[in-house]
Structure 1
């Protein structure tokens, strides 16, 4: 276990990984109070993290800890110059930070200046370090080296110790790390150790925070190893899963004008899970959709399969991930008005880039106009939801019109029309037969056709609408057209993957006409009011709810089909 942790720590980058994700959680758990974490664009005066307190089991008096953090190993070439230069920052701590940045309440505390790195201080730099510390050590100021071995020891003792991290989550975590090259297997083992840590009842608030920190550290380690193995599929899936599990644990908080210290810490940890998800999603999309979305058929060919089913499934998965990221960045840009202007600008630019990429991907990959699974309605609805948020529906309505034509034409020609079958073997063989009995089985129910029909009043003329409904009536007259709403149990079940909940509204057949469909949906929205009590919706984090729907294949409720303006 310690070897795994040391390798993980050595691979971390200073900015954003070791200094923002790992070390603050570790310091909090070993008994220190973190005073500040680094911010981009501000002067640090040599100190990346400041903390105060005494380390449990090691010290009897309080210290002011000042951490100078570096990535990987520190060699002689890093001592005085370069990106990782150590000495200039140590000098700045003495000359600037200690003179002007120490709060009055901490002025009398003895000081420990810690050179922290995920790797080790190489032999070539040891003499420089020894000479420097010998020269500047005083009765009040001392120096310590916190290398990967020291950090791994603290993690083993305070976060992942055998008496704290039980055998089952420890074993599942190690298996997840070992299988980062296999996305499905890595996902299942990650789900297992997150479930071990976060789904059980916690006896105290302290235990709850410990489990969340353990989960984040383990998840971060899995993602780091997956990045090292160049497997971004694993990083995306497990980071999204971790965010949903974290939300499940903290969702019962009630917003207060003056939150307690425990609630503030929960919010901080959740922000770390969310940032990890947004970072990994950007890495994934940068290598896929952003890079190759505008090249005709490039992403489809990259699936590397002779089966059209594989291409179809992969492309809709990518489409959903793109739309979900755009929804998140749009929300954050509107919800953080007091944030740094450059950060807000980057969020807006990211949303616009995502929209442009969605258009390019759709235009460059015709498979996205012919969904093979009925639940691809989820991805289509997410794209249209983002389009409405950004007032860019007109860019996607021609695509929706193409879907309405191709899906029903596929029914007429009996060629890979949308089916509610989900088993991969069934999809490969679909359609097995042109018999009505098979059609009734393959299209026993549909969430896709009611959604398409709902939007056809904005994209099609009367002739096209009539043709659409007549084809459905002719080929799948027994199909139950339906929509889904959460119920009172959904908020307790959906975040961890339970799908047997919710309310099914079945009287939404296109055969009844647009007015009847809209009337039924409006009545259902008024009646099925439990969606307002879903924690993410209630607190304004609608993207969290939509992410869970996509992740666990729950239909997008009609409440998000059309935004009233």
Structure 2
């Protein structure tokens, strides 16, 4: 475990990563932090200020002490000891000359002050004499000062003893983490060990009454997700991290709901913290893949056949759509308190929406869904386009989807498989096997989007296709029920709950179908009553749709409909 931790901690950046680990470590040993890292403000050498019993002292020593910590990445050597305004020596001088006399509260006047240099590297031999001489001289001037260096070995030991202790993280948990990291470079690895590990941790957290033990376990979830992320960065493949963090956030909400933690302040903070961590992974991932979206057939690189190209394309559509909607959610939530950050998030969402359009038009596979369940990705992307007002992209894609659906049937007699079956799909694609498709939810969704986008001609084209080529197809829609939320965040909710409306007959007049859509908003279960909607965590539903393959609820887009008659919601 020490080797895993060493590799992880050595990879941490100074700002936002190493300093975050240190705040968690201090909290775990009972030291209260009163100044946290604050980007953009002058800190006079102090990245973290804290107060509490010194965990490195003997048990008998009960005196509380001050910890003033300056955080540095890499080795402590001659290059960063005394060279410029960001050098270690300058930071220490700022702490002694400015922070202690002017910033440290009077209540700490009689306390021992530990000035700590924390680094994820080593103390090099070439600077040991400088360090010893400096600390000796300053200690002589003020006997309350104690200088400490925490290097990589100290941080590894502290992390293992306090955040990954045997009590918190027993051997079977460690084995699952090691297996995850070992199999991470396999292209078809399904992250099963990581999922099992997280389910064990959430199960352990469920009955905990001791708040401190609970928060330690919840922070452990973020730590192991961070370790996984760093492993992915080293392999230059962020995709496992984005899929894994998606699963953890969904399970996090499911745990939160089952425990009824809505009035527990600290668990709420940890959920928000993990959500922000997930947003950061989204941004890392999108920055990495965005360029490929602007290249013709950019997603086909390294893929040996058209079938895999199509499946990967739809997977990327779904991931990108949820990234964009997560940014929209961030923009909405932070608008009252931080309008500048909210504007940044909205711009991010617009950029994701634009880039997703480029992905679709540069990769023709986006217009050839293979499974009926690919309507999940289509609906998620369409909702993003609708909410970011990229109606031009949505209409062009919808036109291609309907046109290519017709062409594919006329040429190959192929309609996307209603039951997801990879082996059967291979037979169809390679061997010319013919599968008679009797049902479709995807086609009904396309009809809905014709109405949403006011594209009556496309709707009529779809009706013509059905009448001329698919007169016997059973058009369906799946709607959630009151108990659907119990399954939505831990499995495919369609297996246990919900109701399917079948034998749908699309009227020739699009206005008539528009009226049906509006009427059905009131006939079927009102999804706004779901707990995640009531608690303002709406977009978690879309992550669950994509991850566990539950069809997107029709009202997720129908509620956005501005009708051409008098039934609009105020």
Structures share fold, TM-score greater than 0.5: yes
1:277 counterpart residue number? 278
> In 2, are the aligned partners of 1:450 and 1:508 still within 8 Å (CA)?
no
- Map 1:140-539 onto structure 2 (within 5 A): 140-182=144-186, 184-185=188-189, 187-200=191-204, 201-204=206-209, 205-251=211-257, 263-288=264-289, 290-297=290-297, 299-302=298-301, 304-340=302-338, 342-414=340-412, 416-430=414-428, 438-439=435-436, 443-457=437-451, 464-473=458-467, 475-499=469-493, 500-507=495-502, 509-512=504-507, 514=510, 517-518=513-514, 521-529=517-525, 531-539=527-535
2:117 counterpart residue number? 115
Q: 1:482 to 1:157 in 2, by over 3 A?
A: same
- Residue 165 of structure 1 aligns to a residue whose secondary structure is coil
- Residue 489 of structure 1 aligns to a residue whose secondary structure is coil
- Residue 189 of structure 2 aligns to a residue whose secondary structure is helix
Q: 1:36 to 1:525 in 2, by over 3 A?
A: farther
2:87 counterpart residue number? 85
Distance in 2, Cα, partners of 1:185 & 1:336: 36
What displacement does 1:380 show?
1.4
Distance in 2, Cα, partners of 1:363 & 1:18: 41
Of 381-390 and 470-479, more deviation after overlay is shown by 470-479
What displacement does 1:459 show?
5.6
* Residues 227-264 of structure 1 deviation map (CA, whole Å, 9 limit, x = unaligned): 112121222212222222222222468798xx6xxx33
Distance in 2, Cα, partners of 1:459 & 1:339: 34
Of 10-19 and 483-492, more deviation after overlay is shown by 483-492
* Residues 353-402 of structure 1 deviation map (CA, whole Å, 9 limit, x = unaligned): 11221222222122212211211111111122112222232332121121
> In 2, are the aligned partners of 1:76 and 1:124 still within 8 Å (CA)?
yes
What displacement does 1:528 show?
4.1
Distance in 2, Cα, partners of 1:444 & 1:174: 46
Q: Pick one of 541, 546, 550 that aligns with 1:550.
A: 546
Matched, 1:73 2:82: no
Distance in 1, Cα, partners of 2:420 & 2:56: 54
- Residue 529 of structure 1 aligns to a residue whose secondary structure is coil
> In 1, are the aligned partners of 2:427 and 2:433 still within 8 Å (CA)?
no
Distance in 2, Cα, partners of 1:135 & 1:510: 88
Distance in 1, Cα, partners of 2:187 & 2:278: 16
- Residue 114 of structure 1 aligns to a residue whose secondary structure is strand
Distance in 2, Cα, partners of 1:248 & 1:84: 45
Of 110-119 and 496-505, more deviation after overlay is shown by 496-505
> In 1, are the aligned partners of 2:450 and 2:456 still within 8 Å (CA)?
no
Q: 1:557 to 1:213 in 2, by over 3 A?
A: same
Distance in 2, Cα, partners of 1:8 & 1:280: 16
Instruction: Number of aligned residue pairs: give it.
Output: 551
Distance in 2, Cα, partners of 1:415 & 1:308: 18
2:568 counterpart residue number? none
1:14 counterpart residue number? 14
Distance in 2, Cα, partners of 1:93 & 1:423: 64
> In 2, are the aligned partners of 1:378 and 1:550 still within 8 Å (CA)?
yes
What displacement does 1:193 show?
0.8
Distance in 2, Cα, partners of 1:143 & 1:533: 57
Distance in 2, Cα, partners of 1:163 & 1:409: 61
In structure 1, stretches of 5+ residues that fail to align are: none
> In 2, are the aligned partners of 1:485 and 1:502 still within 8 Å (CA)?
no
Distance in 2, Cα, partners of 1:528 & 1:57: 62
* Residues 394-450 of structure 1 deviation map (CA, whole Å, 9 limit, x = unaligned): 332121121112113312222653212423322222256575xx21xxx34322111
> In 2, are the aligned partners of 1:209 and 1:266 still within 8 Å (CA)?
yes
Structural RMSD (CA): 2.7
> In 2, are the aligned partners of 1:483 and 1:555 still within 8 Å (CA)?
no
- Residue 191 of structure 2 aligns to a residue whose secondary structure is helix
Q: 1:83 to 1:161 in 2, by over 3 A?
A: farther
Distance in 2, Cα, partners of 1:134 & 1:41: 32
> In 1, are the aligned partners of 2:492 and 2:550 still within 8 Å (CA)?
no
Matched, 1:127 2:122: no
Distance in 2, Cα, partners of 1:6 & 1:378: 41
